[in-house]
Amino acid sequence: MDDPFLDTLASGAAAVGVPLGNEPLQLFARYHQELLLWNRRINLISEPSAREVALRHFVDSLTPLPWIARSGGHRLIDLGCGGGFPGIPLRIARPDLKLTLVESSRKKVSFLSQVVRVLSLDGVTVLQERVETLSTRAAFVGRYDTVISRAAFKLPDLIRKAAFFLSPGGRLIALKGPEPEAEMAAAELVLAGAGMVLEACRHVSLPVINLQRNIIIYSRVRSDDFP
């Protein structure tokens, strides 16, 4: 490849254990084009350079992929996804995922819907909702295998919200920065009431830019006491 964006994306994804073939790379290239186009009108990203987008947004979004179980029709919900991170990159890399994107901003939802159409991403639902509103609807109780969020909520609040959506044995995956200890300590106080347990905390360093990321994983252990 001689495209700086695709070169950076391909090498960065491989470095975090998610090799990408030509088809997903081309989808990422189209996503990148739409992102830059829409970013002129609405605030989606603050780093518009090709390298920054490839690493800080796309590769970063791919880091939790090893902890998302491989099963037919795996149901993933991304809470507060903004410009589609990490949900859309994960769906590009794993076409089997049944993805729900939740975002309250009408303009961002318009962008997400456009990306889903342009990339022809089957099995992706975009919802313009506040998570607090969605979590009052019985149809969403225990519906998902994985809840994911990229720094959109503090951990205690996220755990309470995620417990509503998760099926028994399902996972919450939270992408956090380099020092999550204070949030994790606060989260300990709400775990039992939410029927959740801490499963793991994995440290990841993004290549080239040395961005430090912690992937914090909780499991849903009880289905009869949704908050």
**Residue 210: per-residue pLDDT:** 80
Residues 148 and 88: their CA atoms lie apart, in Å, by 12
Domains of the chain: 68-220 (3.40.50.150)
Q: Does pLDDT of 208 surpass 80?
A: no
Please report the pLDDT score of residue 209 as a whole number. Answer: 79
Give the C-alpha separation, 58 to 31, whole Å. 10
At residue 227 the predicted structure's pLDDT band, cuts being 50, 70 and 90, is very low
Q: Which of 219, 212, 218 is nearest to 63 (CA)?
A: 212
pLDDT score, position 224: 52
What pTM was estimated for this model as a whole?
0.94
From 81-90, 112-121, 189-198, 200-209, the region with the lowest mean pLDDT: 200-209
126-177 tens-digit pLDDT = 999 999 999 989 999 999 999 999 978 999 999 999 999 999 999 999 999 9
Cα separation values, 41 from 37, 91, 110, 199, Å:
8, 25, 12, 40
Model confidence at 226: pLDDT above 70: no
C-alpha–C-alpha distance, residues 28 and 55, integer Å? 12
Tell me the average pLDDT across 106-126: 97
* Assigned token pair, 221: 């252990």
The pLDDT, as a whole number, for residue 27 is: 98
pLDDT in tens, 51-76: 889 999 999 999 999 999 887 889 99
